[in-house]
Amino acid sequence: MKIITVIGARPQFVKAAVVSRAIDKYNQSDKQIEEVIVHTGQHYDANMSDVFFEEMKIPKPHYNLHIGGGQHGAMTGQMLAKIEEVLLQEKPNAVLVYGDTNSTLAGALAAAKLHIPVAHVEAGLRSFNMRMPEEINRILTDRISTWLFCPTNTAIDNLKDEGFLRKTAGNKYLVENVGDVMYDAALFYKKLALPSGEISHILKEANHKFYLATIHRAENTDDKERLMNIISALDKIADNVRVILPLHPRTRNIIKQYNLHFKHIKVIDPVGYFDMVTLLGQCQAVFTDSGGVQKEAYFFHKPCITLRDETEWVELVERGYNFLVGADYDKIIQAQQELVIKEISFSEQLYGDGTAGVNIVQRIIEGLR
């Protein structure tokens, strides 16, 4: 039995590693599954060196298509053609895709056109903002998938609203809440994570009392007023509590172009996954426009102030773990002030019990028999 995994960005490698470990566990009982990993090259990441794969215990890709940059249509089209070549050569029984990138959609389309079953991990997520390329990728990938592996009951409900029905694997498709692979990853990696010397120094300097912030989405970085509001609010907050902001060079350059300045925020270079896990584990709260970091904040029992107008993780907002504030200066300040006096219990298990990877492998095997 052969499965091809298509991924294109560092977070997808972390997610896919969860399922790869579950496949290895399954193979220990003499039932062989061959996994072939295809990296489209969508996101170049200097942190993805040989050390990255070794420390993270992530299998290296068998194929690297080196497709990155350019417009969405051109990028997706190139990926579609190259992935199709791999599928025709490898002849897999199923194709596994993750999340909502162009790599996700290209992998699903290539497989569907060759009548190869598609498994979509993180199916059913919706921001209901069709201006986001990710939203289009999610919807189209779900529509052509055989297995729709949802991380939450909210995702199940989204698919039902769109006309999907819960069926068994023997029928056309399977929609199931298997849990969240990122929760599996958080449980696994927090046991391994040791901070770098630089992060240890920063934590000591902050006396381990700080907020963690990340800003990278185009809706914030490419809009001067939104970015100015966010930075001004974080700078105001940092006047009293240290705010640590790992900043991508692209965002740093945009801030420079806009002639915006930091007064109190501690800006650092982008960090590796283990350093990020350390920062999440030790911070007091998180400010972010990242979908993944919102969830990871919850995994590490940290309240999150989300710098977006909508979120896919609505259950976190509904239950008071996540404050949705957009790029509104006053709302950001107010949310931080509420956090100071609010006690939040993280007793619920909203994203499964840490067995999502095992559940996914079992369902695919059952469906292919």
Cβ atoms of 20 and 35 within 8 Å: the answer is yes
Residue type, 259: N
Point out the catalytic residue in the list 72, 208, 216, 264: 216
Measured CA angle at 144 (ends 20, 369), to 5 deg = 55
Query: What is the sign of the dihedral through the CA atoms of 176, 181, 182 and 186?
Result: positive
Does residue 115 have an active-site annotation?
no
In what side-by-side order are the strands of the sheet with 94-98? 63-64, 34-39, 2-7, 94-98, 118-121, 147-150, 174-177
In what side-by-side order are the strands of the sheet with 242-246? 266-268, 242-246, 210-214, 285-288, 304-306, 322-324
Catalytic residues: 216
